[in-house]
Amino acid sequence: MELTREELIRYNRQIILPNFGVDGQKKLKTSKVLVIGAGGLGAPNLQYLSGAGIGTIGIVDFDVVSLTNLQRQVLFDTSQINENKAEMAISRLKKLNPEVTFNLYKEQITSENAMAIIEPYDLVIDGSDNLPTRYLVNDACVLLGKTLLYGAIFRYEGQVSVFNHEREDGTRGPNYRDIFPDPPPPEMVPSCSEGGVFGALAGIVGAMQANEAIKILAGLGSTLSGRLLLYDSLDFTTRYLNIRPSPSNPVSGDNPTITELIDYEAFCAGPTIDRQEDLVDSISVKKLEEQMKTGSVFILDVRESYEYEISNINGINIPLGELESRLDEIPKEKEVIVHCKSGVRSRKAIEVLKKNDYTQLLNLEGGILAWQEEIDSAIQVY
């Protein structure tokens, strides 16, 4: 495949790089890359991959642009709020580089469609923000023999690596399950909406992923295969952890137990807890609504104060971090219904209250997000 005169001009600044040349650009032009998620990590990936001249880029994202995205997902703007991210990304990227072919997957990637979506591509970039998708994409790439560019961000820290990359001897490098064979308990993994994320960090980590992808496709340098890069944006330090393939890896080890994609939502939800003392009593939003109509209910909202100011259901707001210093504001003789945004922080709050001899505690199932979905769709939750 030859480069046109316009392409030679467009890509001139990378064609003249040592060891890159016209041959490197041709490799990019014939490459196909799939990006899972067009959000915080996906956006910078898509911009740099499009600019570099990747021939075909697939974008998988069923979500829509929201106001809270714009702090870090700078591919979008306020006029695109409530529009599909993948569609809006393609409309913007075509203006950046009309030479690129874009494939749109306006759907959630699942165990049912992942193999068919991933199979045509040379390389996959994971820009997802949840554990089920990370395990799903990793396992699908291992089963299909695809290189996976991994990235993750949380608060001020980021991670980057190259998984399942083919070595010179034909074997494959380590993958996500060689570091994390099993997921942590769901309550130990707050989302960006629960824990926050530094906006510029998404750009840094996403650009690192794109950097590795372009190097691999053009045949340049060495990669992060076998290493996990840890980046701290607060003190601007990087560390590396060496990763080795594990013989007990369930998808790529000596005796793999996963030979086809599984139910990753159930897998990441963790085992069923049978011990009664570990259970947290809960209440549905519909049941809470009934109680609120019939009498006084003590509702404890453990979100941050700024979240409470945006929207609330008339509970008493004591942020989780202030809970132990404000126990005198919470009655022990009454039933206390605890809630947060989705249920993660409220479970932690209940643990704190139990240690301080509170016994009448209920966790609101699904938090204020469930209230928005089932009771009051007009309430704003970010």
Q: Which residue has the tokens 């952890």?
A: 241
Q: What is the pLDDT of residue 191?
A: 61
Q: Which of 159, 157, 169 lies closest to 233 in space, CA to CA?
A: 157
d(CA 234, CA 206): 17
Cβ-contact 5, 106 below 8 angstroms: no
| Domain 31-269: which CATH number of 3.20.20.80, 3.40.50.720, 3.40.30.10, 3.30.70.20 | 3.40.50.720
Q: What is the pLDDT of residue 279?
A: 63
Q: Which of 3, 81, 104, 192 is catalytic?
A: 192
Q: Do domains 31-269 and 276-374 have the same CATH topology?
A: no
Cβ-contact 283, 364 below 8 angstroms: yes
Q: Which residue has the tokens 């064979």?
A: 181
Domain 276-374 has CATH 3.40.50.800: no
Kindly state the helix (H) or strand (E) to which residue 11 belongs, with its residue range: none
Q: Is 192 a catalytic residue?
A: yes
| Residues of the chain under the 70 pLDDT cut | 185-195, 270-279
Q: Which of 218, 297, 340, 362 is catalytic?
A: 340
HEC-encoded secondary structure of 151-205: EEEEECEEEEEEECCECCCCCECCCHHHHCCCCCCHHHCCCHHHHCECHHHHHHH
Kindly state the helix (H) or strand (E) to which residue 377 belongs, with its residue range: none
pLDDT digits (tens, 9 = 90+) for 78-129: 999 999 999 999 999 999 999 999 999 999 999 999 999 999 999 999 999 8
Q: Which of 160, 186, 185, 131 lies closest to 243 in space, CA to CA?
A: 160
Going from N- to C-terminal start, the domains of the chain cover: 31-269, 276-374
Q: What is the pLDDT of residue 276?
A: 39
Cα–Cα–Cα angle for 146, 147, 149, rounded to 5 degrees:
135
